[in-house]
Amino acid sequence: MRRFVSWAAAVLGLAAVVLVLALGLGVLPIPGARLAGVLFGAGDSTFALVLWQLRLPRFVAGLMAGAALGAAGCLLQAALRNDLADPGLLGVSSGASLVIACVVVMNLPVPPGLLPALAMAGGLLAGLVILAASRAVRDPVQMILIGAALASLFGALILFVIVLGTGLQIQIVYAYLIGTLAGRGWADVLRMAPWLGGSLVVAAALVRPLGLLQLGDEVAEGLGLRVVRTRMLAMVVAIALTAPVVATCGPIGFVALVAPHLARAALRTGAIAQVLPLSAAIGALLLATADLAARWVVMPAELPVGLVATAIGAPAAVLLLRRHARMAASA
Amino acid sequence: MIPGGMTRRRSVAWMVGGLLGLMLAFGVHVAFGTVPIDPLRVVKALAQMPDSRADYDIVWNLRTPRALVVLGAGAMLGLAGALLQAITRNPLAEPGLMGVSGGAVLAIVVAIVAQSKLDGLGIVRDTGLALGLVGIAGGMAAGTLTYVLSWRQGSDPALLVLIGVLVAGGTAALASMVLLVADENQVRLVLHWMIGSANGRVWAHWHMMWPLGLAGLALGLGCAGLANALQLGDPVAAGLGVSVERTRLLLLFVAAVLTSGAVSVVGAIGFVGLMGPHLARQMVGTDARRLFPFSVLVSAGLLLLADIAARLFPLGWLAGLTGLALPGRSGMPMGVATPLLGAPFFLYLLLRRRRQA
């Protein structure tokens, strides 16, 4: 528990540093000493506008999306007892993206508030296949291959939709498919908030059953746990956490894979009650930092945050895969 | 299946049947298109005695090179898939899953956009042997990356495919980045490779493809004996006097040449190199001397059928349903059709293997 408290404090502290940098850096730099003054009305109103309407909501959106992904990854890994599970690698994000690509290309008259729900429907489609396969397939590596097949199936359908589009729409869809936080504002934050809040409440209730599940299906069943129902519920919550992120920022990869691993390594335990919140916090910190880098590296232009996440996350995933193969070989 | 268990006569029968089937698919591909032309006029146009200028242009200048390009691409991807499956001893290996196609596409996309920016004036070109060579360099680089990253006291088959998926994902993300800096003309052209299509492939593309294809196919088919030795496992192969690492590298190189040669003309076509060799193995067994040529036949036929299906896909109902102005007559690109068939096939293979294990 003391490890948890000290790590949580460390993550919060780092997040505060990133907050100051994210608010201060940009085409219009604001020195740290003046930040507080500008935030609370003193000085130039242009600065206040940039801070309150552009940089702060974008930072908050990044934190929320990262937290949702970190929690979703942790839930998926616990539910499937597969430490390689990740909404991107399992095809869930692709399913959700397909729906959004349809909406963009076909100009469907969908109110933005409904987008997360639609994305969730697409994600659930992939989740159902994964859930069905999880009864037959125990091997984590096989599971990821099934996810890769699902992702390429949805990828083909996304291409199908893209072919129907015009030049500009195609560029929008591709930019979206990399994942970006550019131009995300308070409206997006408000749209994601209820989904996150609701999902996290259910996730808190799932902590105990998921802990039992880690003992193995048979033991958990012997202790009176409804295994299939728990697994299904955890996956639905994970998808409900992923869907609003995909709907607002695109399928940002690898955060959900890496955050739980970092949390487990920091805590030196797999106890869900501690890993879940720390994983969410680390996910938030990772994505906010990645977005800061994405804005800063090629200033005054910027990179999509999804590219930065991939640049950091893909090598991390390679390391995880190699470690997994090594442990599987020695087991 | 025991390699020697297949009688010579039966595999010859399969081979002849496969050739006939391939010729039939080729004929259907040339005979049917978005503009209906009756078969007699098609034959006349092919024999260089067309009824009209339009017939000649459609049949000889559009449909014939397109069918040839599809045939060639299918053959090359099929052999590349069979080679990769032999090298990795993993029946799930495939040019697309190894990152090779992704690397080739990325290199070509970068080359096209950069060349177009250098030329200026909105000129965008998509032919030339140089483009094929750029594709090969990209494909080789990505394939090597996958191979090196999955090296663990010898290459680990499951790891190879997983890392391949990651490398393919990374190259796709980078290619999307290039799209963001491209103008509309460039986007339109570059999408051809990112999706994979035979639309608008003409004689110029065939001329760019066949030298690489011929060299790659000859080399690959000639290596069948070496591939057989590798399939027995490294120690046995070494015992037979085969230099294992050098052979593996040679076969990998041939597979990358074949893949990149195909990809540089028709773009990233997934899953043909997975399905073709699998179907071929069901028919003629695992002996590479029979499996390789038959994989070529089956994959070429598959891709022809996929292109026919994609081209004839009716977009009309979709236009009616959504009220969109769809690119009506050019049909769907075949790069959309092959994963729709191939991904379920891949799932089936995974689940079946699981049951056998």
Reduced to 3 states, what is the DSSP secondary structure of residue B151?
A: strand
The per-residue pLDDT for range A234-264, each reduced to its tens digit, is 999 999 999 999 999 999 989 999 999 999 9
Contacts of B170 in chain A (CB under 8 A): 310, 314
Residues of chain A numbered 226-285 and touching chain B (CB < 8 Å) = 253
A175 interface with B at CB cutoff 8 Å: yes
How far apart (Å, rounded) are the C-alpha atoms in residues B317 and B315? 6
ipTM of the complex: 0.83
Peptide bond into A300 cis (omega under 30): yes
Cβ contact, residue pair B176, A174, below 8 Å: yes
Query: In the prediction, which pLDDT does B2 show?
Result: 46
- Burial pattern B28-67, b for ≥16 Cβ within 10 A else e, equals ebbbbbeeebeeebbebbbeeebeeeebbebbbebbbbbb
Bridge partners of residue B151, in order along the sequence: B155
Digitized pLDDT (tens) for each residue of chain B, 357 residues in all: 444 455 677 888 888 998 999 999 999 988 887 777 888 888 888 888 888 888 888 888 888 999 999 999 999 999 999 998 888 777 778 888 788 899 999 998 898 888 887 776 656 666 666 787 888 889 889 988 988 888 776 656 667 778 888 898 889 888 888 888 887 778 878 888 888 888 888 888 898 889 889 999 999 999 998 888 888 877 888 888 888 778 888 888 899 889 988 998 898 888 899 999 999 998 888 888 899 999 999 999 999 999 988 887 766 666 666 555 555 546 778 888 888 888 888 888 877 765 555
- Cβ neighbours around A40 below 10 Å, total: 9
Residue A325: band (very low, low, confident or very high) from pLDDT cuts 50, 70, 90: confident
Mean pLDDT of A268-276: 88
B198 interface with A at CB cutoff 8 Å: no
By the 10 Å C-beta count (0-12 exposed, 13-18 middle, 19+ buried), A321 is classed as buried
Distance, in angstroms, between A85 CA and closest chain B CA?
13
Flag whether pLDDT at A111 surpasses 90.
no
How far apart (Å, rounded) are the C-alpha atoms in residues A119 and A178? 16
Cβ contact, residue pair B176, A177, below 8 Å: yes
B190 interface with A at CB cutoff 8 Å: no
Cβ contact, residue pair B332, A133, below 8 Å: no
Which pairs from B322-327 meet CB under 8 Å and 24+ separation?
A: B322/A106, B324/A106, B324/A107, B324/A164, B326/A164, B327/A163, B327/A164
- Top residue of A322, A324, A326, A327 to mutate, by most chain B CBs within 10 Å, is A322
The per-residue pLDDT for range A31-64, each reduced to its tens digit, is 777 777 777 766 667 778 888 888 899 999 999 9
Query: In the prediction, which pLDDT does B80 show?
Result: 94
Q: What percent of chain A has pLDDT over 70?
A: 98
Query: In the prediction, which pLDDT does B322 show?
Result: 59
* Mean of the per-residue pLDDT values of chain A: 87
By the 10 Å C-beta count (0-12 exposed, 13-18 middle, 19+ buried), B328 is classed as exposed
Query: In the prediction, which pLDDT does A256 show?
Result: 93
pTM of the model: 0.86
